[in-house]
Structure 1
Amino acid sequence: MIKRIIFILFSTFVIGGCTNAPNHLLDGKEKISKEADQLISDYIIQKYENIYAPSKKQFEVHRIYGTNEKQGTITVYLHSYLGSFTKETGDEDQSGHSVPALIKIKKEGSVYKVVEYREPRDGDYYISSLEKMFPEKYVKKEEQPSDVINDLEIQMDKKVHKWLKQEGGDSR
């Protein structure tokens, strides 16, 4: 009987060790290369390029709360700020949004590819859909995201001012 129990426990460890990589939630953006980070911004800009009123330039900045890698796919939990700008209006964004999002990326060969993108639903479904998308500790950060939004606004201002300076516009 003891041999049987030891065999079952040993089998459980061996079989458990042979399954796919475990689900590991890592805070911050350690798992995200510069290439993958740029892919995220480019994807979000492209996704919304025909949604908002036309503008000269769109910028996206984001705060990555954490990542979770499983079977070669990296799930990224983030808060995104997208803004559209013109030289005439300077650093005042014409349209855009600030939302939490989940994006899944996978490396195929030497390039990353977006395989899924989600945002929480609007209105009464916002919190429940966010809770389905994000781990609890990141949901809590989204309940009062003022620090995140302030940081993203600073990042956005830097990008816009640099662009305006290059374009010869007012960088205020």
Structure 2
Amino acid sequence: MSWLKAGTLQVMRLLSEGQAPSRSWAPYVVTAAAVSAAAVAGAAAVDPNSTWYEHLEKPAFQPPPWAFGAVWTPLYASIAWAGGHALQQARGRNRSALAASLGVNLVLNTAWNWLFFRRQSPKAGLVGTLLLDMSNIALISRTAGADRAAARALLPYAGWCAFATVLNGAIVRRNPA
């Protein structure tokens, strides 16, 4: 996972240093690549059919397994679009801060899968998702400074992550060991 963190942060740093023309596709391409890398790296850690996961006691509001792919696909698309759109509008230090915020957010997004599934630790996953929620607030705030429409596009993502925090917390309560 360290390769993802280093690569994502490097790509976002390179993007933040550039001053893309107002009609450039570069920010969209770079954010789509970074979001795709985060999605692939995160998915590599998930095994909903593992004996460990199947034996966890889950709350009644746990969505069915197919729902996660159905929800995450458009959410990842909205992150890529919002990131590209906001980076296209931002300049100077604001652009650098936005790129860094997006990079950190993608690393935290990926980290949750590794903390929860690979470490088999709902408690570590809960810490990870709480950090992701804080990162979402920072990302939306920075994005709003560049483009309010892009910030609004991130709201469903933040909402789903907040739901994931509640779900993760419920799993921790039901599986204290």
Bigger proportion of residues as strand: 1
Between structure 1 and structure 2, the one with the greater Rg is: 1
TM norm structure 1: 0.29
Bigger proportion of residues as helix: 2
TM norm structure 2: 0.29
Structure with the greater relative contact order (CA < 8 A, sep ≥ 6): 1 or 2? 2
